[in-house]
Structure 1
Amino acid sequence: SDGLERDYITAWSYGIGETWTLLVPNTKGGASVPLSENGRAMDKARPEYRQIYQQIGQYWGEQPGTSGPVYVGAFVLALFVLGLFIVKGPMKWALLAGAIFSILLSWGKNFMGLTDFFIDHVPMYNKFRAVSSILVVAEFCIPLLAALAVKELIERPGILKSNKMPLYISLGVTGGVALLFALAPKLFFSSFISTSEMQMFGQALPAEHLQPFMANLTDMRVALFTADAWRSFLVVLIGGALVWMFLEKKIKPEWLIASLLLLCLVDMWGVNKRYLNDGDFVPETNQQNLFALTPTDEYILQDTTPYYRVLNMATSTFNDGVTPYHHKVIGGYHAAKLSRYQDLIDVHLSHEMMALQQAIIETGGALDSTDVRGFNVLNMLNAKWVIMPSQEGGTLPVENPHAMGNAWFVDELQVVESADEEIDALATLDLRNEAVVDARFAPVLEGFQPSRADSLSSIVLTDYDSDFVAYSVNTRKDELAVFSEVYYPRGWQVSIDGEPAEMFRVNYALRGLVIPEGAQTVEFRFDPPSIKVTDAIAYGALVIMLLTALFLIYRVFRAPKR
């Protein structure tokens, strides 16, 4: 794989100003949850806009969404700054470099010079879906240096006796900044509304309500931000007071450590409970109910066809973890989504789903005579069943008679020179009878001339598992078969009657295979050589370890007794 697109990788880029969440968790509102769920913010809401606030999130940063901020603890950050002054040795500089470097990388599209370098030159970096995830390095480095700072204070209490300036600087950089944020938030942040929200409100709200609404929304979010700024200031103030009491020998080292641990625990506990609380843990019966079969599921599961896919348009199709529990699906969710499949979603599926939904509404679900050109790629992906929302709040099953099945033969093959041409061709070709292939696969097709598929030729799925697929094939001539399975050559081994064969990519994302005349079995088996190599290395290392242990035991028993 060539990795993900830059826009996709950097979509979840941490904002430069958003980095202050390390000190004040609600710098950008926290998480993408309804604003109406926050009582402090709703105290500022104007009555006429309360219903709108149920549809607007607390988060106003530039990321598409977030489950919560990256917060290391206000006084932990103060101790980190203090550690830069009092901790000696290379470890300090390594931790500082790790923290700064991870923050710069997390900025993504806001710091494209460094991001471009890593995408272009650092192996595997272009496989990350969210550059902000690199902040986990800062979340490790900052607390570790903070702990080393406490260690220095305990072991060398006189280090700040004659010069308390490092302590004052660390408290000023953290508690002082938090205090300034609390007193003058608009001086440091010019807007509390994201760019995408600005565009949405401009289109959705009447002109006479736009400015009053945005002013009220700003007041609500300022209240969120300043409340957390005061909170962080108080935490730093208490922590600073504890350190001062220790330096003045008013408390013992054990009490300092215990007090700081308790302070940080209360601080982090309070913030963490906002995003992971009792409401996120449900009884097992509730969890089972989430995956309970609906009447629609039961109806679809009566279909005895060996393999088909379900398209659920009654939920967020590509963020759905429930439908895949019972069915093979077009959507679902996985963090390691192939970029080619994401391309199909962006270029074709998102539009075709709307066309299919409209066709179902217009025909009442009777799709037999519908023009299939509006959802040809969905048919190619074998979307035999569609789950539609009903007016009563439930769902309804709709059968798609145009789904192309597990595999089929095509009459014609169009050769193109680029990936763009290949994906664009899917909108114009009759995918039931035609296929498109990139020119770089021409050597695999050498000597084969596509022709009209023989009506007596057949291909039937006989076995299917996550790492094995088998078909029974009977062809009257050499045929070109298209399989409704994603093309991924790294590990998939293909054979025809036990003899190795070579597949190629067709229709931008599917598997193609030239099948010779006759009755035979086609098998796809996921068996990557890399697994065999790593298994051999692991077992070999284990054998060496065992032999070494036996040799050492032998030497101990054979050694002469003194």
Structure 2
Amino acid sequence: QTKTMLAIMVVLLASELIWNGSQYNKTFPAQLIYRETLTTNFLKNNIGQYRFLVAPADFRGKAGAIIEDKIVAPPNTFLPYQLASIAGKNQLFPKWYREIAALVEPQNELSHIIFNQQQSPIYDLLGVKYLLTKEKKEVLSPSYQEVYHNEGIRIYENLNVMPRAFFASQVKVANLSELEMMGEDGFDPHTTVIVQTKTIDPKDISVPTSADQVEIKEYKNNEVTLQAFTIAKRLLVLTDTYYPGWEVFVDGNKVELLRVNHAMRGVVLNSGKHQIKFVFWPSILSKGLLIAAIVFLGLILEVLRVSFRRIWTNKSLTRISTEN
């Protein structure tokens, strides 16, 4: 009777909570909140594996501050549309990415990386194909071409944008700091990649030719698959953020993952056709899975122990009853 009453009380309580909650926690189709617009459709149809940037940034900085002109998109607005930006709000930005961003302009906001400057070679390196700006903020530069003007927004295509994955033309080993070398006036990201490791001999890396090809075949949050063909030894650069826990496999074999240009991933390829996989699998995840498996096995053994003990006890009681 006690168990029955307890079950009834749980069912009644759960039913009441669900009924009350349904009046306040309504669900709506995502399309009603994140509507498709001419701007988002243009970006979706044309951006591919590249990134975009809103500049000047639509960021207030201080509560109540006034933003001039029309707002294009505050930080993180385009996340639901799965459009990649080099700016945004996130308290967990890797330090080295913030330092790369600071090469363009100081990053003084703790929780944001934002840009007001509309042109920089660093944008080329980070794969910024499109620059979004307010209608009144024209970009006058031969390297930026207006490709969209609607909804109070102008979109400019960066004609010097670099692909997300490319082969390095020239490799330089940083004696002190990659960041310092990248901040020098003569640094050109189109031709030079900076590394810290001495396992690479820059003399082994030659300028890629039209025969050298690399293509991103599959892109997921925790895994990136590329197909590449090279006629000589090359350094492949993926301009995604480097972070401990990323591993790289070439033709199924784990190889050394390089940190290049201070904040990006790289891998050395020998000549030939290769499949490259960047996989995020931190050691703490392996340890966590091992601990979980041990705990789960322990629970199963404990359940079996209790069950067998109960069966043995019942058999013993039955035998004693029979004997009496």
Q: 2:44 aligns with which of 271, 294, 301?
A: 301
Q: Which residue of 2 aligns with 1:329?
A: 85
Larger radius of gyration: 1
Amino acid at match of 2:298: I
Tell me the distance in 1 between the aligned counterparts of 2:239 and 2:94. Answer: 15
Amino acid at match of 2:104: H
Matched, 1:460 2:215: yes
Q: 2:153 aligns with which of 374, 381, 395?
A: 395
Deviation, structure 1 residue 437:
1.8
Deviation, structure 1 residue 350:
5.6
Tell me the distance in 1 between the aligned counterparts of 2:206 and 2:51. Answer: 29
Amino acid at match of 2:309: R
Conserved? CA contact 2:247–2:279, under 8 Å: yes
Matched, 1:541 2:288: no
Deviation, structure 1 residue 434:
0.9
Matched, 1:408 2:162: no
Amino acid at match of 2:135: S
Count of residue correspondences: 259
Amino acid at match of 2:51: R
Q: 1:384 aligns with which of 106, 109, 129?
A: 129
C-alpha spacing 1:318/1:299, structure 2 compared with 1 (3 Å): closer
Conserved? CA contact 2:165–2:214, under 8 Å: yes
Structure 1-normalised TM-score? Answer: 0.42
Q: Which residue of 1 aligns with 2:190?
A: 432
SS at match of 2:226: strand
Aligned pairs for 1:36-435 within 5 A:
289-303=32-46, 305=48, 307-313=49-55, 315-316=58-59, 320-326=75-81, 327-348=83-104, 353-356=115-118, 374-391=119-136, 394-419=152-177, 420-425=179-184, 427-435=185-193
Amino acid at match of 2:176: S
Deviation, structure 1 residue 340:
0.9
Amino acid at match of 2:131: V
Conserved? CA contact 1:481–1:512, under 8 Å: yes
Matched, 1:472 2:227: yes
Give 1 or 2: higher strand fraction.
2
Tell me the distance in 1 between the aligned counterparts of 2:262 and 2:40. Answer: 31
Q: Which residue of 1 aligns with 2:271?
A: 517
Q: Which residue of 1 aligns with 2:4?
A: none
C-alpha spacing 1:282/1:546, structure 2 compared with 1 (3 Å): closer
Q: 2:285 aligns with which of 531, 535, 538?
A: 531
C-alpha spacing 1:541/1:411, structure 2 compared with 1 (3 Å): same
Deviation, structure 1 residue 339:
0.8
Long gaps (5+) in structure 1: 1-280, 357-373
Which digits, 9 at most, give the CA deviation of each residue in 1:228-253, with x for residues without a partner? xxxxxxxxxxxxxxxxxxxxxxxxxx
Conserved? CA contact 2:245–2:283, under 8 Å: yes
Long gaps (5+) in structure 2: 1-23, 60-71, 108-113, 137-149
Conserved? CA contact 1:324–1:332, under 8 Å: no
Tell me the distance in 1 between the aligned counterparts of 2:25 and 2:159. Answer: 40
Amino acid at match of 2:132: I
Deviation, structure 1 residue 293:
2.3
Deviation, structure 1 residue 304:
6.5
SS at match of 2:209: coil
Structure 2-normalised TM-score? Answer: 0.71
Amino acid at match of 2:58: T
SS at match of 1:301: helix
Give 1 or 2: higher helix fraction.
1
Conserved? CA contact 2:164–2:238, under 8 Å: yes
Q: 1:482 aligns with which of 232, 237, 241?
A: 237
Q: Which residue of 2 aligns with 1:58?
A: none
Amino acid at match of 1:387: L
